[in-house]
Amino acid sequence: MSALLETVGLTRFFGSVRAAEDLNMRVEQGETVGIIGSNGSGKTTFLNLATGYLKPERGRILLDGQDTTALPPRAITRLGVARSFQIPQLYLGMTVLEAMLLSLAARDGRIGMWAPLLRGEWIAEARQVLAQFALDSHAERLIAELPEGSRKLLDIALAVALKPRLLLMDEPTAGVSTEDKFEVMDTLSTVLRGSGITTIFVEHDMDVVQRYSRRVLVFDQGLVIADGEPAKVLGDADVRRAVLGHV
Amino acid sequence: MTTRTRTVALLLIAALVLVVGVPLLLPDWIVFLLTVASAKALAVLGVVLLLRGKLLTFGHALYYAAGAYAGGMAVRYLGVHEALVLLALALAAGVAVSALLGLLVARYRAVYFALLNLAFSMVLYGMLLKLYNVFGGTDGIGIHEPTLAGFRLSGLAMYELSISLTALLVFLTHRFFVSPLGYTLRAIRDNEVRVEYMGVSVWRAVYVSYIIAGALAAVSGGLIALAVGHITPDLAFWSQSGEFVFVAILGGTGSVLAPVVGSVLFEFVRNYAFKLSPYTWQMTLGIVLLLIIFFLPGGVWSLTARLPRRSHR
Amino acid sequence: MRLLLVVGLDGLAYASWLFLVSAGLTFTYGVLRVLNLAHGNLYALGAYLGATLVLHYAATGSTPALTYALLLLAALVIGVVVGPLIERLFLRRVYSRDEEVQLLLTFSISLILEDVVKLTWGVTPIFADLPYTYLGRVRLGGVNYAWYPFLLTAIALAVGAFLWLVVTRTRLGKILTSVITDREVSLTLGINVPLVYTLAFTAGAVLAALGGALTAPMFSLVPGVGAEVLVTSFAVIAIGGLGSIGGAALGSLLVGMARSFAVYKFPEMDLYVIYLIMALVLLFRPQGFFGEIEVRRI
């Protein structure tokens, strides 16, 4: 059985900066994987490459055995991959509900010109998804007026609404206050647990990774330097030095 | 339910006023002005539609002229005089040209989008001007004695035709605005990257929107050709595109009705101002546009939207 | 062989003209990232003022050679007076807003200047051809050529060389490059970015007006000249890549030669050649020859 996501020899430089070099990794279906590394270690680039936003110089990306290296984000999304962003990418001029409805319409491939977006069949489901993320009270609010933490959650909710096979999250707790961090991640875990969605999330907070992932990959300057159980990997001195800059 | 019945009632009253009241009570020259204004409103609507995707075009007169001249050519070479046929041809021309140019233009945004449209519109202008044998040059083409379903197209009938066709297309555009594709266009304005990550093709949404906008402007041109009875290459000139942009910005992109209201206001003001001082008309437009940019970014329509704001529709 | 000469020289003349009128537009875009829609109007102002000065002088003065200096003077005056006016009073206030708003702003200025030209000079055509006729003609390969277009070519080369030298060899050039590359970093380096912007816009305005002033002796001036120049300039710099002087040069040369050849074979094509080339180039290379694609960082 092929891995859900696999990269083979993935290589990408930005000038002389090594964002990925001969990066090989596999994630199997059903896993919850955390990717950790210091700034500039190539974590976001990895997500950009995996979702087709950037093209690698060498190497391949395989989704469930299918080579997706040349595909654009749109195509990869349609194959069942959804992604959330380090800085929430949202439609500031719309309401929360409208954005969620659009996600559902996109998921169903029903972007038509005639029937309205605000239709019964989707509204119920939209409110339901928003409720899972505790955003339903904000449904009628303009996204531009949402507080930071809610924006993060919405960014992720919109991705989850697509019912992906694989969910990639870029620093889900970035910009979230320390008190709220775990609350956000708890909400997330509850939503994702029963869903069967394979999850990969990028983080630089070791506590979050330790608590919420079953497996950790450590990135350092475009290379995977460790791969295994959180407690063991994060306890390793070399890893701590690479990620934190000290032991 | 009461809001719905209230809206319907309002619309019926408006329809009654426009269809019966206006021609009955107002002098012919006002009826004519309204005919022209409502026709042009469709081209402005096209510009507004694209603006909802943050696509600013300085060349929309291209489709306006294409529609008018499609009709004109049919009159000149095929001897067609039936308004409905001419309008259908105008629509077809608009769709055909926008479908072709859209292939290139839909890839672009901002400066490129604005200026590529301008460039192509000026190419058409050049063609209409210079290919005298085909298009009649500055003499233009006359559309004499058109008919509507066989009957003579009087000034009154033209008025009714114009406002009903405008009403229909405004309604259809409203449906577009509230549909998933309409919302996709707004999403593209806010965050193209996210749209792609939803699995939706940004290019396709822009392309389809572009064709619809072109079609609206072409029908507009067809109506003008019928209403005025004479078409010249000026229909494609950049200042015509500029006027459409001006009225679009003046009215704002908040509502399908804004282009209509804006267009009517514009035609009336222009009627007086141009007679007073033709060499300061564009300057006036420029100054008003500057004022809008600095003080009323949502257009004049935003002044009415002091209602509890939901989303920027 | 004669064909080659005719087409080549015509092409060169047209290419020179194209470069002179589009250099300012691409330069302004390169530094400020704003496409100045009033570019055609600045061209027109330069042309009209230049023509007026020449006509006044021609009526009373004695040295025809001075008319060239008058053309240059006209360009400088327009550029240095109108340029900063536009940039400081209006453009400056919209740098932080969407590109569309900036376009609308320069469009408003264009509408205003359009009428300014009409109010100042009226609509009857003006023709100040003394600088053109004074240089006379030369016979090359059996064909009579006016000298003036060669002067244009010389000036185009001079302008190109000057811009290239300034950008690559001078301290000002380094500052410009810094501002173009990264505005924020430039600010932290202590560069007076607002001043650089004003200077760059003014330089672009001078170039636009120069294009107009130098062209005035060749054609009869009517108020509509500006619009066509704007569109033509855009086509050239779209081909070459927005912001690239080298691109403008390459685009001018390409279009100039292609048009010259096309016109020889199909005279009616002269209007379309430039746009056909533009469409073709953009189909295969959306950013033009030397343009950049900006990929959004996410």
Same structural domain, A63 and A117: no
For C6-30, what is each residue's pLDDT tens digit? Answer: 889 999 999 999 999 999 999 999 9
Predicted ipTM of the assembly: 0.94
Same domain, A180 and A69: yes
B294 to C93: CB separation less than 8 angstroms, yes or no: yes
Interface test with C, best of B202, B290, B294 (most C CBs within 10 A): B290
Q: Answer yes or no: do C296 and B193 touch at CB < 8 A.
A: yes
Which residues of B fall within a CB distance of 8 Å from C111? 242, 282-283, 285-286, 289
CB-based contact C105 B290, cutoff 8 Å: yes
CB-based contact (8 Å) between B100 and chain C? no
Mean pLDDT of A46-69: 95
Quote the pLDDT of residue A1.
63
Instruction: Tell me the shortest Cα–Cα distance from A229 to chain B, in angstroms.
Output: 31
pLDDT band for B17, please (50, 70, 90 cuts). confident
Whether residue B222 is contained in a domain is answered as yes
| Residue range of the domain that includes B223 | 28-237
Residues A246 and A179 occupy one common structural domain: yes
User: Is there a single domain that holds both residue A63 and residue A177?
Assistant: yes
In a domain, A178, yes or no: yes
Q: Residue A159: its chain B contacts at CB < 8 A?
A: 197
Q: Do A98 and B311 touch (CB under 8 A)?
A: yes
* CB proximity B295 to C under 8 Å: no
Residue A196 confidence class, pLDDT cut points 50, 70, 90: confident
Are the Cβ atoms of C283 and B104 closer than 8 angstroms?
Answer: yes
Determine contact: A174 vs chain C, CB below 8 A. Answer: no
List residues bridging with A27 in a β-sheet: A5
User: Quick check: B112 contacting C, CB < 8 Å?
Assistant: yes
Q: Which residues of A touch B183 (CB under 8 A)?
A: 94, 98, 101-102, 105, 117
From chain C, pick out residues whose CB is under 8 angstroms from the CB of B114.
35, 100, 103
Q: Which of A116-120, B273-277, C52-56 is least confident?
A: B273-277
Picking from A72, A103, A142, the nearest residue to B198 by CB comes out as A103
Judge whether A192 lies within some domain: no
pLDDT of residue B305: 47
Secondary structure (DSSP) of B50-65: HHTTT---S-THHHHH
Yes or no, beta carbons of B127 and C271 under 8 Å apart: yes
Q: Which residues of C touch B298 (CB under 8 A)?
A: none
State mean pLDDT over B78-97: 96
Q: What is the residue range of A229's domain?
A: 1-80+167-187+197-247
> CATH number of C2-284: 1.10.238, 1.10.1740, 1.10.3470, 1.10.10?
1.10.3470
Read off the tokens for C284.
């295969």
Q: Is the pTM of this model over 0.90?
A: yes
Round to whole Å and give the CA distance between A216 and A206: 10
Q: Measured between CA atoms, how close is C295 to chain A, in angstroms?
A: 9
Report which of residues A156 and B1 the model is more confident about. A156
A133 and A15 belong to one structural domain:
no
**How many whole angstroms separate alpha carbon B4 and alpha carbon A234?**
61
C-alpha–C-alpha distance, residues B181 and A3, integer Å: 35
Strand A215-220 versus strand A223-228 pairing type? antiparallel
Examine residue B177 and state whether it is found in any structural domain, yes or no.
yes
Q: What is the mean pLDDT of chain A?
A: 92
Interface of C with A in 269-298 (CB under 8 A): 298
Specify the pLDDT at position C105.
96
Q: Is the pLDDT of residue C57 over 60?
A: yes
Query: Could you tell me which residues come within 8 angstroms of residue C158 by beta carbon, excluding any fewer than 6 positions away?
Result: none
| Residue B158: band (very low, low, confident or very high) from pLDDT cuts 50, 70, 90 | very high
C281 to chain B: nearest residue by CA?
Answer: B104
Length of chain A: 247
Identify whether residues A159 and A172 lie together within a single domain.
no
- Evaluate whether residue B309 is within a structural domain: no
Residue B312 binned pLDDT confidence (cut-offs 50, 70, 90) = very low
The whole-angstrom distance between A114's CA and the closest CA on chain B is 6
Subunits touching C (CB < 8 Å, at least 3 pairs)? A, B
Subunits with 3+ C-beta pairs closer than 8 A to A: B, C
Using a CB-CB cut-off of 8 Å, the residues of chain C touching A86 are 298
For chain C, the domains span: 2-284
Question: pLDDT for C171-217, tens place per residue?
Answer: 999 999 998 888 888 988 889 999 999 999 999 999 999 999 999 99
Residue A77: the pLDDT is 97
Residues 6+ apart with CB under 8 A from B163: B18, B19, B34, B35, B38
Of B119, B131, B193, the CB nearest to C231: B119
- Inter-chain residue contact C104 with B120, CB threshold 8 Å: no
> What's the N-to-C CA distance of chain A in angstroms?
39
pLDDT at C294 over 80: no
CATH code, A38:
3.40.50.300
> Which residues of B are less than 8 Å from C228 in CB distance?
122
Same domain, A212 and A154: no
What percentage of chain B has pLDDT greater than the value 70?
95
pLDDT of A40 reads: 80
- Residues of B within 8 A of C296 (CB-CB) are 193
Residues of A in contact with C298 (CB under 8 A): 44, 48, 53, 85-87, 89
Mean pLDDT, rounded, for C34-59: 94
CB nearest B293 (choices: C99, C105, C230): C105
A124 plus A57 within the same structural domain: no
**One domain for residues A115 and A155:** yes
Residues A152 and A113 occupy one common structural domain: yes
Give the residue-averaged pLDDT of B184-208. 96
Contacts of B182 in chain A (CB under 8 A): 113, 117
Residue B303 — very low, low, confident or very high, per pLDDT cuts 50/70/90? Answer: low
Task: Tally Cβ neighbours within 10 Å of residue A221.
Answer: 16
Provide the CB-side half-sphere exposure for C168 (13 A, CA): 8
Q: In the sheet where A17-27 sits, what is the strand order? A: A17-27, A5-14, A58-63, A66-67
In chain A, the percentage of residues whose pLDDT exceeds 90 is: 72
Mean pLDDT across A191-217:
90
DSSP A173-238: TTT--HHHHHHHHHHHHHHHHTTT-EEEEEES-HHHHHHH-SEEEEEETTEEEEEE-HHHHHH-HH
Count of domains for chain A: 2
The pLDDT value given to residue B217: 98
Inter-chain CB proximity B112 and C103 less than 8 Å: no
Between B254 and C43, the higher pLDDT residue: C43
DSSP-derived pairing of the beta strands A17-27 and A32-36: unpaired
Number of Cβ within a 10 Å radius of residue C12: 20
Residue A212 in domain: yes
- Amino acid (one-letter) located at B91: L
Q: Is residue A131 part of a domain?
A: yes
The pLDDT of residue B246 is above 70: yes
Q: C221 to chain B nearest CA, in Å?
A: 17
pLDDT in tens, C240-279: 999 999 999 999 999 999 999 888 888 877 778 899 999 9
* HEC string for chain C: CHHHHHHHHHHHHHHHHHHHHHHHHHHHHHHHCCCCCCHHHHHHHHHHHHHHHHHHHHHHCCCCCHHHHHHHHHHHHHHHHHHHHHHHHCHHHHCCCCHHHHHHHHHHHHHHHHHHHHHHHCCCCECCCHHHHHCCEEEECCEEEECHHHHHHHHHHHHHHHHHHHHHHCHHHHHHHHHHHCHHHHHHCCCCHHHHHHHHHHHHHHHHHHHHHHHCCCCCECCCHHHHHHHHHHHHHHHHCCCCHHHHHHHHHHHHHHHHHHHHHCHHHHHCHHHHHHHHHHHHCCCCCCCCCCCCCC
Short-list A151, A135, A142, CA closest to B313 = A142
Task: Give bridge partners of residue A61 from the DSSP assignment.
Answer: A7
Asked whether residue A174 is domain-assigned, the answer is yes
Overall number of domains in chain B: 1
Residues of B with CB under 8 A from a CB of A: 175-176, 178-184, 186-187, 189-191, 193-194, 196-202, 205, 208, 309-312
Chain A residues with beta carbon closer than 8 angstroms to that of B189: 93
Write out pLDDT tens, residues B64-79. 999 999 999 999 999 9
